Chain A
């Protein structure tokens, strides 16, 4: 059953960015959106919960139009989704506990009480492989880039959403941390049965975590299929992406072999 539907979504900022995107994401599915920089991947992701409103077309979440939603309905839609921002978008003046607890609504915080909120925050931090006792009272500035991303993810999942939206979750991370975040995305999708959309430049990561991969280019979807179909597609754009990734992996392997040889 489709949980998220993009229907002929158009958006322009002086120049057209999205020029008619149609896409359906099924319940429990993990879909990765890849494509060149500036092609509208993040814009498309932001239209999902009306952080950016399409110029025309619609996004439908669980049968509810995002474009036609009133304030209450929009709040309801946003409560269903957790959004992980590219640079985590943590609030600098708040410690990790306060940042993560923002993912709970005021009504939930009032009903749970202070101790239960703290337990839920700690649980979310442990879910993203952070030592809650160690990081809970730290400010975002005291954390590494990888830890900040994990805190951003903890904030997105603490409200137990049905949908998780990731905007370039591994950008700026080293390969070890990237692989760790990819494993986390897969584990959360499995454990929480969430529907996930991941905007990424990391093709190899997308191959690992996705049920399907969509290629966005020039404001339109150029390809959508399983990772296997993506890998073997003869579509020139897809081939360019796969080959670039293969070339990068080969270069990385050569570099690693060189280092081992030197050692």
Chain B
């Protein structure tokens, strides 16, 4: 016969478990609902793009804003990541491992991981947040409703040019970030541990696989798809005035970072084994 304390404990445990399950259900429901909406948005953007419904000037405007205007910040980030990787490697290798290995470590780190991920983080902050805030403001100021009322679909006008621009611009940005990051690492290695350019490049070539560059650009393509899809989706979902725009922009940035990091984590088991 259970005591009163045990019964109360059982009830509390059941209530707690029940609440936990409900919360998990709600989160799961929300995740699947967002995923379904984003899949539909992607499909409709792709079909509008293939049917030629996307205006060239809309695409060029977005590609310019995402690519050319992001380039300075992407380059600064790439230079700093190359320098830091080179200096930390130099610190660890000096006196224990041949220093030319540093060329391989810097190149692999930048091309396989730092170039794509840090460029994605820059684009999330500079472009993804802007897209959500812009579309969110259009939503709360009834401009999206105005498009519908004029018999126009927002997908080819607002979503498709941004997604297409993201997928085409992101690989170019990552390619530039990779080159700049490795070059900065090489210069830094010369300045800090006295490793010459020829030795650095010898080490870089020693473990280089051409596939690494393809892998890096595949990551860029996925990030260039994920960032605009989430930012457009969250912008179009915005409700509730200026406060709502702030809320959805914050949520959008969080979702974009999580999505980039999760897809980044999926790449090695899928493409490096």
**A78 sits at the interface (CB 8 A):** yes
Q: Are A89 and B143 in contact (CB under 8 A)?
A: yes
Shortest C-beta distance, B136 to chain A (Å), equals: 14
Q: Are B151 and A46 in contact (CB under 8 A)?
A: no
Q: Are B141 and A87 in contact (CB under 8 A)?
A: yes
* Contacting residue for B149 out of A78, A86, A90, A91, CB 8 A: A78
Mask for B134-145, Cβ within 8 A of A = 1, else 0?
000000011101
* Contacting residue for B151 out of A78, A85, A91, CB 8 A: A78
**B152 sits at the interface (CB 8 A):** yes
Specify which chain A residues have a CB less than 8 angstroms from the CB of B151 in the assembled complex: 75, 78-79, 105
**A117 sits at the interface (CB 8 A):** no
Specify which chain B residues have a CB less than 8 angstroms from the CB of A40 in the assembled complex: none
Specify which chain A residues have a CB less than 8 angstroms from the CB of B146 in the assembled complex: 83, 85, 89-91
**B150 sits at the interface (CB 8 A):** yes
Q: Are A78 and B150 in contact (CB under 8 A)?
A: yes
Q: Are B148 and A89 in contact (CB under 8 A)?
A: no
Q: How many residues of B contact A (CB 8 A)?
A: 11
**A155 sits at the interface (CB 8 A):** yes
Shortest C-beta distance, A85 to chain B (Å), equals: 5
For the complex, would chain A's binding face be called helix, strand, loop or mixed by DSSP majority?
A: loop
Q: Are B150 and A85 in contact (CB under 8 A)?
A: no
Shortest C-beta distance, A100 to chain B (Å), equals: 11
Q: Are A102 and B152 in contact (CB under 8 A)?
A: yes
**A143 sits at the interface (CB 8 A):** no
Cα–Cα distance between A90 and B141 once the two chains are bound (Å): 9
Mask for A87-126, Cβ within 8 A of B = 1, else 0?
1011100000000001101000000000000000000000
Q: Are A49 and B143 in contact (CB under 8 A)?
A: no
Shortest C-beta distance, A80 to chain B (Å), equals: 10
Which B126-163 residues have a C-beta within 8 angstroms of A?
141-143, 145-152
Q: Are A85 and B145 in contact (CB under 8 A)?
A: yes
> Can you name the residue of chain B whose Cβ is closest to the Cβ of A74?
B151
Specify which chain A residues have a CB less than 8 angstroms from the CB of B143 in the assembled complex: 89-91
> Can you name the residue of chain B whose Cβ is closest to the Cβ of A87?
B141
Specify which chain A residues have a CB less than 8 angstroms from the CB of B147 in the assembled complex: 102
Residue among A79, A86, A102, A105 with max Cβ neighbours from chain B (10 Å)? A102
Shortest C-beta distance, A25 to chain B (Å), equals: 18
Q: Are B150 and A155 in contact (CB under 8 A)?
A: yes
Q: How many residues of A contact B (CB 8 A)?
A: 18
Specify which chain B residues have a CB less than 8 angstroms from the CB of A49 in the assembled complex: 148-149
> Can you name the residue of chain B whose Cβ is closest to the Cβ of A104?
B150
Cα–Cα distance between A176 and B47 once the two chains are bound (Å): 49
Q: Are B142 and A78 in contact (CB under 8 A)?
A: no
Specify which chain B residues have a CB less than 8 angstroms from the CB of A91 in the assembled complex: 143, 146
> Can you name the residue of chain A whose Cβ is closest to the Cβ of B142?
A89
Q: Are B141 and A78 in contact (CB under 8 A)?
A: no
Specify which chain B residues have a CB less than 8 angstroms from the CB of A103 in the assembled complex: 150
Q: Are A51 and B141 in contact (CB under 8 A)?
A: no
Q: Are B145 and A51 in contact (CB under 8 A)?
A: yes
Q: Are B145 and A78 in contact (CB under 8 A)?
A: no
**A61 sits at the interface (CB 8 A):** no
**A81 sits at the interface (CB 8 A):** yes
Shortest C-beta distance, A248 to chain B (Å), equals: 27
Q: Are B150 and A102 in contact (CB under 8 A)?
A: yes
Cα–Cα distance between A85 and B149 once the two chains are bound (Å): 10
Residue among A78, A83, A89 with max Cβ neighbours from chain B (10 Å)? A89
Specify which chain A residues have a CB less than 8 angstroms from the CB of B148 in the assembled complex: 49, 51, 78
Shortest C-beta distance, B175 to chain A (Å), equals: 30
Cα–Cα distance between A49 and B141 once the two chains are bound (Å): 18
Cα–Cα distance between A86 and B151 once the two chains are bound (Å): 19
Specify which chain B residues have a CB less than 8 angstroms from the CB of A79 in the assembled complex: 151
Specify which chain B residues have a CB less than 8 angstroms from the CB of A105 in the assembled complex: 151
> Can you name the residue of chain A whose Cβ is closest to the Cβ of B61?
A93
Mask for A48-86, Cβ within 8 A of B = 1, else 0?
010100000000000000000000000100110101011
Shortest C-beta distance, A121 to chain B (Å), equals: 14
Specify which chain B residues have a CB less than 8 angstroms from the CB of A102 in the assembled complex: 147, 150, 152
> Can you name the residue of chain A whose Cβ is closest to the Cβ of B138?
A91
Specify which chain A residues have a CB less than 8 angstroms from the CB of B150 in the assembled complex: 78, 102-103, 155
- Interface residues of A, Cβ cutoff 8 Å to B: 46, 49, 51, 75, 78-79, 81, 83, 85-87, 89-91, 102-103, 105, 155
| 10 residue pairs bridging A and B, Cβ less than 8 Å apart | A51-B145, A75-B151, A78-B151, A83-B149, A85-B146, A86-B142, A89-B141, A102-B147, A102-B152, A105-B151
Closest 10 CB pairs of A and B: A83-B149, A89-B146, A89-B142, A78-B151, A85-B142, A75-B151, A89-B143, A51-B145, A79-B151, A102-B150
Other A-B pairs, 13, CB within 8 Å; known A83-B149, A155-B150:
A49-B148, A49-B149, A78-B151, A83-B146, A85-B145, A85-B146, A85-B149, A89-B143, A89-B145, A89-B146, A90-B146, A91-B143, A103-B150
- Interface residues of B, Cβ cutoff 8 Å to A: 141-143, 145-152
